[in-house]
């Protein structure tokens, strides 16, 4: 179940309540009159089956609720109610397969910010990976994969391409464009320091690193694993299954490949650095491609569901037209109606 907290001006409250009460997948509708102060208005609470959450929110957007008030979305972990069971049965599909698109956009938007902490995690993850490469320690490679935050911007690029969000694409690409070079440069400096101080081997011989040599030798399975991991990562993002996302983080060698570029460069092994760069490029392209395809398929299902919903007679309860959306068109009806003398009827 999804819990909605809606703040609306008083004059819009009735339309919202009529819409929610008419939807069979909505329950626990509560109307608190005049309790909101900023913005001023009424507060309406309700629970909705996860399968119908984005559809209902889309109707609320047609009523211009985000413009005049706000909509907050929360996950309900446990709902003990026969009415909740009936609401979920009324919504087509399964809760585990349902995508709350507003939640996906917000989550990816939060994870694509070019912040000090993002760059710090990128740098620190590559430092760990560099030590793992120098001493042929796979456990450190796995640790670096878990620490690396690069999947957030990669998922952001996928969401931006499917939703045609140029702002999200710019933020995601900026984070990647700064995070990877910063990590590679600082890891290169660290590798030089390790070599000059004698903390790492004087010579770097790739053939002696059998456990981590795969990082700089991409093949078909490099693309295959990255593509499958990209699909799993997006599914974990849309279904809020963090356990699956952890599996993605420890199966894709983006951070280790970037660290290997720095390590190989510090030893002037340009062939090894080139192989690591190819591995990095393959992983980035495969993850984004998989993310776009997965989101596109999920989005097409939602679009078909939304089109069917537009023909639902329940929309007329809130003054919404049948068969078409009011979003993107003038909404004179959304303003309080007045009589001939300028008074509200």
pLDDT (tens, 9 = 90+) of the chain, 345 residues, equals: 999 999 999 999 999 999 999 999 999 999 999 999 998 999 999 999 999 999 999 999 999 999 999 999 998 888 889 998 999 898 887 777 788 888 888 888 777 888 999 999 999 999 999 999 999 898 999 889 888 889 889 999 999 999 888 999 999 999 999 999 999 999 999 999 999 998 888 787 777 777 777 888 898 998 999 999 889 888 888 876 655 555 556 567 899 999 999 999 999 999 999 999 999 999 999 999 999 999 999 999 888 888 888 888 888 888 888 888 877 555 544 444 444 344 433
59 in the same domain as 130: no
59 in the same domain as 178: no
pTM over 0.85: no
Domain range spanning residue 120?
104-302
78 in the same domain as 210: no
Tokens found for residue 72: 């907050």
76 in the same domain as 149: no
**Position 181 in a domain:** yes
Tally of domains within the chain: 2
178 in the same domain as 35: no
275 in the same domain as 200: yes
280 in the same domain as 158: yes
260 in the same domain as 176: yes
CA distance 195 to 29: 66
115 in the same domain as 88: no
65 in the same domain as 21: yes
User: Strand runs (DSSP E) across the chain, as ranges?
Assistant: 2-8, 26-37, 40-48, 70-75
**Position 342 in a domain:** no
**Position 343 in a domain:** no
Residue listed under structure tokens 């910010």? 113
CATH number of the domain encompassing residue 75 = 3.30.70
State the alpha helices, DSSP H only, in 135-196. Answer: 138-147, 151-163, 166-196
Residue 309, CB-side half-sphere exposure with 13 Å CA sphere = 25
82 in the same domain as 112: no
């Amino acid at each position: 179940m999804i819990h909605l907290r809606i703040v609306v001006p008083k004059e819009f409250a009735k339309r919202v309540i009529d819409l929610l009460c008419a939807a069979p997948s909505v329950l626990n509708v509560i109307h608190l009159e005049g309790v909101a102060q900023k913005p001023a208005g009424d507060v309406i609470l309700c629970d909705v089956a996860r399968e119908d959450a984005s559809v209902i929110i889309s109707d609320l957007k047609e009523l211009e609720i985000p413009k005049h008030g706000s909509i907050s979305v929360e996950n309900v972990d446990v709902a003990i109610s026969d009415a909740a069971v009936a609401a979920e049965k009324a919504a087509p599909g399964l809760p585990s397969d349902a995508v709350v698109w507003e939640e996906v956009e917000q989550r990816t938007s939060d994870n694509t910010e070019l912040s000090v902490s993002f760059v710090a995690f990128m740098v620190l993850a590559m430092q760990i990976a560099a030590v793992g490469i120098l001493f042929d320690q796979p456990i450190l490679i796995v640790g670096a994969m878990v620490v690396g935050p690069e999947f957030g911007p990669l998922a952001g690029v996928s969401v931006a391409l499917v939703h045609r969000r140029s702002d999200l694409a710019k933020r995601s690409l900026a984070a990647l464009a700064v995070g990877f070079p910063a990590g590679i440069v600082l890891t290169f400096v660290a590798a030089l320091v390790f070599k000059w101080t004698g903390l790492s081997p004087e010579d770097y011989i790739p053939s002696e690193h059998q456990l981590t040599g795969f990082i700089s030798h991409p093949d078909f399975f490099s693309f295959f694993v990255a593509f499958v991991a990209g699909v799993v990562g997006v599914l974990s993002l849309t279904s809020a299954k963090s356990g699956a996302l952890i599996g993605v983080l420890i199966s894709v060698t983006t951070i280790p490949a970037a660290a290997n570029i720095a390590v190989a460069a510090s030893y002037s092994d340009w062939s090894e650095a080139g192989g690591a760069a190819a591995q990095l490029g393959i992983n980035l392209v495969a993850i984004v491609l998989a993310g776009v395809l997965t989101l596109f398929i999920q989005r097409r299902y939602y679009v078909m569901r939304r089109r069917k919903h537009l023909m639902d007679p329940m929309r007329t309860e809130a003054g919404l037209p049948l068969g078409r959306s009011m979003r993107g068109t003038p909404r004179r009806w959304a303003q309080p109606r007045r009589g001939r003398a300028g008074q509200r009827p």
